[in-house]
Structure 1
Amino acid sequence: MAKISRSTGGVSIWVVLLLLVSVILVAGFALTYRRWEGQAPQVAFDHDFKALGRTPALHLKVEDPGNGLRQVIIRLKQKDQDIVLADESFDRAGAEKSKVYDVGKLIAEKSKVQEGPATLSVSATDYAFRNFFGGNRNELSKDFAFDIYPPRLEVLSGQHYINQGGSECVLYRVSDDTEVSGVQVGPHFFPGFPANLPDKNVRFSLFAFAYDLPADTPVKVVARDAAGNEAEARPWQKVFPHTFRSRDIALKDSFLQKVVPEIMSHTPGIEDQGDLVKTFVEINSKLRRQNHDTIAKLSLESPPKFLWNDAFLQLSNSKVESLFADHRTYVYQGNKVDQQDHVGFDLSVVQRTPIEAGNDGKVVLAEYFGIYGNTVLIDHGTGLISLYAHMSSIDVKPGQMVKKKDIIGRSGATGLAEGDHLHFGLFLQGVPVNP
């Protein structure tokens, strides 16, 4: 009986020890279980690429939302070069969970770029306890080619006479490696399109010289390849400056009471500012910008060909009431409350005049459109869009093809309009131009 008792006692000690060890292990795991996660760091370039230029625009994002980054190594291999562009270690878990590297800058600073194939490789580890406490690892390798020479570019058209606020066309030739080309005028870019000539490398670009740009703003023809190399040429140009009219617009309570509630009812995104004048300013500025941004976005979907024929037509028998780029100062009870530019013509005939399409094209918008009220937008190809605003009724639908002088609706006084008229505007790649 005594032996059995000691044996039972001995077994009890081992059980207690086993339970104690189990408790310690479970407690240890509970305290460190996050360190055992198996998610490797995420590694990604900011865009896909097959070629890079001499000074490429390329960024790499490395992140580990779990335990944080331990080490990041970026290498460039090309011919006889094997260069460490970056080798960065982080001193503790969670210290750095996300890091962006300017790989283009690192390449420019640390390597001698040569024409031809190359490889970028990235290795990133984190502070997890996986892999014998070495952490999770992710590796990325990208094969590409260095292309350090810009495309060839030749301007073919001769003299270019441009009115400030107007438009022009340039003809040019590019080499086969050109990916994007067009005309840059200040902050505005106007893409080039195939000229459909026997020489398939000839392009044309319709471009605007915005009314609010200084007259000495240079016009540049540019061509860019897949690697980001850019060629530039300056066509001969002569810009005719223009001083646009300024005028004051007196705001009346009756006008505000008419237009503000109407526009608000059609535009849920505009908030009531507490009184009619402040809400009018919100509409006249913020909503105006939003409307013009929408036109610019629609121009990006424009087909790369002319849909129109010959000259645009002014509304039949119409009288011009307001001019393009009139600078308007809005005055309420003697106080200046806002300033905006009127980017179109106001044309009047009689009330509910049938509105004609200015030229052939495709209807891309036919609805109540912010400050412009009932509006039709017609895409004429190559980024050229005409606007018909303040209409009382609309007789066309988006997607419908129209011909010059087709009736698209009737004039009215919707939106920011005091009386019945047509506001007609032209936009080239979203830039308003003088019709």
Structure 2
Amino acid sequence: MARIRGYRRKTNYKGFFVVLFLVAIGALVYFASQSEIFEKKSPEIIIENTGNFWNPKTQTQIILKDSSAIKSYSILATLENGEKVLDIQEVVLDKPKELKLFLPVPQRKLPEGAKISYEISATDWSNSNFFSGNTTLKRLDFTIDTQAPKIEVIASSFSISYGGSALIIFKATEDNLKKLVVSNGVDEFVPFPYLKKDYYATLVAWPVKNKSFTPLIIAQDGANNQTRYQVAIVKKLKGYRDSTIRLQDKNFGKVDELAQMLVPDMRFESQSEKFRYINESIREKDEKAIFDASSHFEVNMITRPIIFERFYPLRGAQVVGSFGDSRHYYYKDKNISNSYHLGLDMASVANAPIIASNPGKIVLEQKLGIYGNTIVLYHGLGVSSLYSHISNFKKALGDDIREGEVIAESGSTGWAFGDHLHFGILVQGQFVRLAEWMDGKWIKNNITSVFQKGEKIILRNQK
């Protein structure tokens, strides 16, 4: 066969370039889709009031957020009959990543109880969705509510002593009540439903840690309308001891013992530092455990007036330490620590039986630090009794206790010098004046009679 001279094989460069072009386009589309300018996350619409009720007189904040910035938003409001009362459309040229505004209010007056729906949309500056951006739509349905809750005091204790307690019975009228508390100006107390719908009973405390007392009933509804009703209660100042205790080296033995037992790995620079840690930090930890146990309870309907017997847990005992005593500890003429004594120290014979004066449930049975072996007994209406420095527990956590039952024996556990009982009364976690709850006459005049007066008025109003 004859060789054909000059033959050269042809290469298909055109097909190669087409494939290369398509790959490049695909890569460009992929990397563009992963870029921030094509991000697909829709804007966030955060609204302060998400309840079913709304007061147009209160400002409701809207926050629009997006990583690629807000491009535009719209707000449309319609009434239940379909009538448009608001139609706003805005373009945001300065490209904020977060935009704050208030929910606009229609110019026309909206009657009480009217139903209004809002549709809020926000679009970002992303180039996704064929350069139209990502859009979020949020709908809100409100019932117009401009009326604040109504408060009426039915009965209350005539007065309250500094460190003491008072009972308030009142009526709170509101269909969509969101918050109802009684305040002493610092602390809040949960009210208990009493006898009938809309009626409540609350014990409020004036702790010695609070120098002033302002009794307020605070009611707030679902539209954030609020009523703050100040209760007329006479305030009586009571004096408490202010003790200066000068420590000597021999007084630190119990401190060393407690530190070794409670914080064996902790090192202190001085005896003064160790004393302050035990007296203040360990005390604070103990009192938090006591507060938690005495402030968590079921809020059930009270169906009849509660009758408390006077508290007297240790028969034939002598008082060896008073309630409310402000103690200031000095060592070598320097004030090294301070604390309040928030109970009553009672001493009888060793291992004396501790008796429950009122029925209740054991909500704390624990070995604490300063307080030693401790029981907290809950009696209802937010009232708890405290028993500390116990030698032997006779009952267990969760036990229901009858009046007159022995729950423990006195002892010297914790920071105790000799066998005695540290006894306390708490109202929703706040320590209160013992002299009142150990006085049958005070209980009758300030608790029992107030309950009975409230019962008569409530039942009469229901007729």
CA contact (8 A) 1:221 1:235 kept: yes
1:77 counterpart residue number: 77
Matching of residue 257 in structure 1 with residue 259 in structure 2: no
Distance 1:284 1:120, change over 3 A: farther
How far is the alpha carbon of 1:321 from its aligned partner?
Answer: 1.4
How far is the alpha carbon of 1:167 from its aligned partner?
Answer: 0.7
How far is the alpha carbon of 1:363 from its aligned partner?
Answer: 0.8
Q: Distance in 1 between matches of 2:224 and 2:330?
A: 49
Q: Distance in 2 between matches of 1:19 and 1:165?
A: 82
Q: Distance in 2 between matches of 1:206 and 1:373?
A: 28
Distance 1:168 1:12, change over 3 A: closer
Count of paired positions? 417
1:292 counterpart residue number: 287
SS in 2 for 1:380: strand
SS in 1 for 2:376: strand
SS in 2 for 1:149: coil
Q: State the Cα deviation string for residues 390-429 of structure 1 (Å, max 9, x = none).
A: 2223232221111233222222233333333221111112
| 1:156 alignment partner, one of 154, 157, 164 | 154
SS in 2 for 1:258: helix
Distance 1:8 1:400, change over 3 A: same
| 1:5 alignment partner, one of 9, 25, 30 | 9
Equivalence map 1:306-325=2 (5 Å): 309-325=308-324
Matching of residue 223 in structure 1 with residue 219 in structure 2: yes
SS in 2 for 1:144: strand
| 1:245 alignment partner, one of 231, 241, 246 | 241
2:137 counterpart residue number: 139
SS in 2 for 1:324: coil
Which ranges of structure 1 fall in alignment gaps of 5 or more residues? none
2:202 counterpart residue number: 205
TM-score (norm 2): 0.76
How far is the alpha carbon of 1:34 from its aligned partner?
Answer: 5.3
TM-score (norm 1): 0.80
Percent identical: 24
Q: State the Cα deviation string for residues 253-301 of structure 1 (Å, max 9, x = none).
A: 2121012222336xx9xx6555554344334334433443444444232
Q: Distance in 2 between matches of 1:33 and 1:238?
A: 70
How far is the alpha carbon of 1:354 from its aligned partner?
Answer: 2.5
CA contact (8 A) 1:247 1:326 kept: yes
Equivalence map 1:72-111=2 (5 Å): 73=73, 75=75, 77=77, 79=79, 81-82=85-86, 89=92, 91=94, 96=97
Distance 1:335 1:133, change over 3 A: farther
| One-letter identity of the residue aligned with 1:362 | K
SS in 2 for 1:281: helix
Cα RMSD for the two superposed structures: 3.7
CA contact (8 A) 2:324 2:343 kept: yes
Distance 1:400 1:117, change over 3 A: same
Which ranges of structure 2 fall in alignment gaps of 5 or more residues? 435-463
